[in-house]
Amino acid sequence: MKRTFFTMLIAAALIIVGLNACTKQDYSPVPSTTPPPAQQAKLNLVATSWTSHDGGIYVSTFQNILSNLLMTNGSRVSVYAQDGGQSILISGSAVIFKGHALWASTTKSDVTINYSCPEAPMPFQTLHIEVVVN
């Protein structure tokens, strides 16, 4: 009986050691890689050439200004008017600027600035613009 007990004890010890050896593995952690931040392109422009349209809408278009920038289907173009060191987003919707509506529209290659001033001439001749492509 002692011999059977001793044999079972040795067999159990060998099984436990064998099972532990199979399950113990040192895994090195997978290094986390973060994708590089999206590249952002900025253009600083000055609108000086304005064309008057019916209804007192003044338009300044920068033709083919976006054609050389790397843009994908997910790229977003934001247009800001610069006034006294302050950036005003004008590409989302019209904003009141110097008493009248100012807004920007973009195509695949052009940026167009619009200013509605029906009852008087424009209160400015130049407008500093920043175009940001994300």
User: ∠ at Cα 21 (20, 22), nearest 5°?
Assistant: 90
The tally of domains found in the chain comes to 1
Q: Is residue 28 part of a domain?
A: no
Q: Is 22 inside any structural domain?
A: no
In a domain, 15, yes or no: no
Q: Show Cβ contacts of residue 94 under 8 Å, excluding neighbours closer than 6 positions.
A: 101, 102, 103, 116
Q: Is residue 52 part of a domain?
A: yes
1-15: per-residue pLDDT in tens? 667 766 776 766 667
For residue 27, is it within any domain? no
- Which of 23-37, 43-57, 80-94 shows the lowest mean pLDDT across its residues? 23-37
Domain hosting 84: range is 41-133
What percent of the chain clears pLDDT 90, i.e. is strictly above it? 55
List b or e across 80-115, with b for residues whose CB sees 16 or more CB atoms inside 10 angstroms.
Answer: bbeeeeeeeebbeeeeebeebbbbbebeeeebbbbb
Whether 132 contacts 80, CB under 8 Å = yes
Please report whether residue 21 resides in a domain.
Answer: no
CATH no. for residue 122? 2.60.40
Q: What is the enclosing helix (H) or strand (E) of 57?
A: strand 57-62
Is 73 inside a domain boundary? yes
- Is residue 70 situated within a structural domain? yes
Strand arrangement of the beta sheet that strand 95-97 belongs to: 51-53, 57-62, 111-116, 100-106, 95-97
Say what the pTM is.
0.70
Rounded to whole angstroms, what are the CA distances from 29 to 3, 20, 21, 41, 96? Answer: 47, 21, 20, 36, 55
